[in-house]
Chains A and B, each alone.
Chain A
Amino acid sequence: MMNGEEFVPLSLTPMLIGIFAAIACALPGNFLLLRRQALIGDAISHVVLPGIVVAFLISGAITAWPMMLGAAGAAVVAVMLIEAIRRLGKIEPGAAMGVVFTTMFAGGVLLLEQTDTSTVHLDVEHALYGNLESLIWLDAVGWSSLLDPEALRHLPVELPRMALTLVGVCLFIALFWRALKISTFDEGFARTMGIRTNALGLGLVITAAVAAVAAFDAVGSIIVIAMFICPPAAARMMTNRLEGQIAWSVGFAMVSAVLGYVLAGYGPLWMGGSDAVSAAGMIATVSGVILAISAKFGPCRSRAGAPAGI
């Protein structure tokens, strides 16, 4: 379809970043889905905006680390606020979440409007659907650049950061695999075994937040929400085993990222257009199509459990 000279600088890095982001979100998404906390991802991705704006106001520049810290701080504040409102006001969790994330998002938008951000690239649209297409690797000349240390130094910083996040997420899940599995399916039993379920739950949410923030930086919030929910939900229709579900969800996340990117980048060209459409939106759309197919035909889609004949 395309030779290395074009593919490596223009498409390889966005594609890899998309894949890493998708997997990093889908992995914790599996547990959130099973714990009925699927919408935490939605809430986190909304509150990241005020965090980033505040970080920008304090540091005065669009640099990676203050932004990440600000976003992560906002996520933690949001989780604590939700919990506080839920307990203090005796309000059901869904409504408490709705109150907190809309308010924080509104605060973020207001701050953004009040600040002069004309000199920097920071606006609501960017926060919503990112700019995956712009993460290109201009120093590459072809496949051989992958071995060229000089060119490698100019990789977009998002790529190593996303890869690092993915490794971190994998480590968390691998380290706490047994405890996570038990506490997800039977919290009471986990507690009798001496697993600190509250701390573990918070750890999971923080891991999800870290993944969301890192992915958000690269690809925008809409992909984050989609990847938290759609691949795990689709995987849930395919199997009854947690191991299998996670494997399927990783697969689905990868397919969504690759197919979505290709369709967004080249689809319009095939249709006779000239410009690409939003890759983030397309990735979310593809993951939705995958979910629809698996919800219609997946072997374990019904609530009764195992398919007939097993």
Chain B
Amino acid sequence: MLLDALLLQLGYNATLVAIGAALLGTAAGITGTFLFLRKRALVSDAVSHATLPGVCIAFLLMAAFGADGRNLAGLLLGSAVSAGIGLWCMNWLTRNTRLAEDAAIGAVLSVFFGFGIVLLTVIQILGVGRQAGLEGFLLGSTAGMLYSDALVIAGGGALSLLMILLTRRPMTLVAFDPEYAAARGLPVERIDMLMMGLVMAVTVVGLKIVGLILIVALLIIPAVTARFWTERSDHVVLLAGLFGGLASYVGAALSASAPNLPTGPIIVLVSFGFFALSLFLAPNRGVLAAVMRHMRFQRRVHLRQGLLALAQGQAIYESLTLRLLRRAGLVRADGVATERGKARASKALRDERRWEIVRGDMAHEAAAALYDGLRDIETVLTQDQIVEIDRRIGGPREVLS
């Protein structure tokens, strides 16, 4: 069943939803990346909640003029207008008052959403009928999606992608360093507005599939996920698009494969699955990689300290150090150094003495700054410099045993 769904074999409607969701997820992932890099991820929360009054007003207006209140294009237009107003309010609050951006986000989010709920109850009271579709915008509903709805969604997703393709360079620049971008003569404010416009477009298009409460997840989670895998912004953008598209596609297919699996929440949970995997498994930034890095470092410190202790004829009691030395064949089971162990130990002690001289000599200031107790001295000084330092220490002496 699931395989059928993934291969688009579950009928016309499910196929439409899956393709629409994949396009939307890709656009959302890419747009969200810029937002995330600009450190304004939660702005999307305000934008998405601010769409609700617009949806309701558009419905009321269309119903009042005798049209079908559920026309998706009309509802989306209304939601775009009210999201725009919400965005403007938020910017006005942060620019003209002492409120910080997070407070402005929260204020816009709650007030617009509250007002939207008042309007929802008004629609219920007026009994304009067939309003059931509107609640679907809260959590998304793909059950009764029409071909025209899917066209609107696919078209919107494709259009947002095109806009991103055209403006990715300036947006990357602004996301990383707005001051530099301004100094380069880029219209930072207009680019910021464009970024927000794209967020708005994605939100509005996603209302039908994911719903306004959860669309934020599609904008934030893929970007955060992609960030784990790479340090290059263009790769983050591509990966975020990929993660977003894949999660949406798999989520939509999953939800079509069984009853009682609402599309929006499933898509969000699938993207969170990708996120959790990345959090643990990503190279470099992942938790597993960090733990392994830490353990490698720990082993190096213990080995080094063990060798120094051997060289100075001190007994070693610490069990991890003993184990490491034994495994490397540097000490015997009774803790006595082997020949190789003695050689490595005297080398370690000599290196330590060399470092001491390097660190005491202003001429080697740059090299001395690299001292961390583990670095091999050969990696920072030339052979000639080491010979020179050895001359100062004096010739090799017999190791105490």
- A residues near B, CB below 8 A? 33, 36-39, 41-42, 46, 85, 88-92, 94-99, 102-103, 105-107, 109-110, 113-114, 124-125, 128-129, 222-223, 225-226, 228-230, 233, 236-237, 264, 268, 273-278, 280-285, 287-288, 291, 295, 300-303
Contacts and interface: CB of A to CB of B under 8 A. Distances in A.
Nearest to A33: B103
B224 A230 contact: no
Contacts of B91: none
A284 B114 CA distance: 5
A302 B98 contact: yes
Contacts of B113: 222, 225, 281, 284
Contacts of B216: 98, 102
Nearest to A267: B118
B109 interface: yes
Interface in B251-303: 260-262, 264-266, 268-269, 272, 275, 279, 285, 287, 290
Given A95-B224, A110-B266, A89 B41 contact: no
A303 B98 contact: yes
Contacts of A287: 110-111, 114
Interface stretch (B66-74, B120-128, B236-244, B323-331): B120-128
Contacts of B217: 98-99, 102-103, 106
Contact of A102 (B98, B106, B214): B214
Given A95-B220, A107-B265, A41 B106 contact: yes
A98 B275 contact: no
Given A36-B102, A95-B224, A124-B138, A225 B109 contact: yes
B139 A109 contact: yes
Interface string B95-106: 011111011011
A183 B9 CA distance: 60
Chain A facing B: main interface SS: helix
Contacts of B39: 92, 94
A230 B107 contact: yes
Query: Which among A102, A128, A276 has the greatest number of chain B C-beta atoms within 10 A?
Result: A102
Contact of B107 (A88, A95, A277, A291): A291
B202 to A, nearest CB: 14
Contact of B99 (A85, A233, A264): A233
A36 B41 contact: no
A29 B125 CA distance: 34
Given A88-B287, A89-B224, A42 B262 contact: no
24 contacts: A36-B100, A38-B103, A41-B106, A42-B110, A94-B102, A99-B217, A102-B216, A102-B217, A102-B221, A102-B268, A105-B213, A106-B214, A106-B266, A109-B214, A109-B262, A225-B106, A225-B113, A230-B107, A236-B99, A273-B125, A284-B113, A284-B114, A288-B115, A295-B96
Contacts of A274: 125
Nearest to B98: A303
Chain B facing A: main interface SS: helix
Contacts of B99: 233, 236, 295
A275 B120 CA distance: 13
Contact of B269 (A94, A107, A276): A107
A130 to B, nearest CB: 10
Contacts of A226: 110-111, 114
B357 to A, nearest CB: 38
B77 interface: no
A92 B41 CA distance: 9
A25 to B, nearest CB: 11
B149 interface: no
Contacts of A237: 97-98
B57 interface: no
A233 B111 contact: no
Q: Across chains A and B, which 5 residue pairs bring their CB atoms closest together, nearest first? A: A284-B114, A288-B111, A281-B117, A102-B217, A226-B110
A49 to B, nearest CB: 10
Given A90-B285, A229-B107, A277-B118, A295 B220 contact: no
Contacts of B262: 109-110, 113
Query: Which among B44, B109, B121, B214 has the greatest number of chain A C-beta atoms within 10 A?
Result: B121
B42 A97 contact: yes
A277 to B, nearest CB: 4
B8 interface: no
A245 to B, nearest CB: 11
Given A97-B42, A225-B106, A103 B272 contact: yes
B20 interface: no
B269 A99 contact: no
Contacts of A233: 99, 103, 107
B220 A102 contact: yes
B240 to A, nearest CB: 12
B227 interface: yes
Given A106-B268, A303-B97, A303-B98, A42 B118 contact: no
Contact of A38 (B41, B100, B112, B272): B100
B355 interface: no
A37 B213 CA distance: 20
A102 B265 CA distance: 9
Given A91-B227, A302-B97, A103 B125 contact: no
A281 B227 contact: no
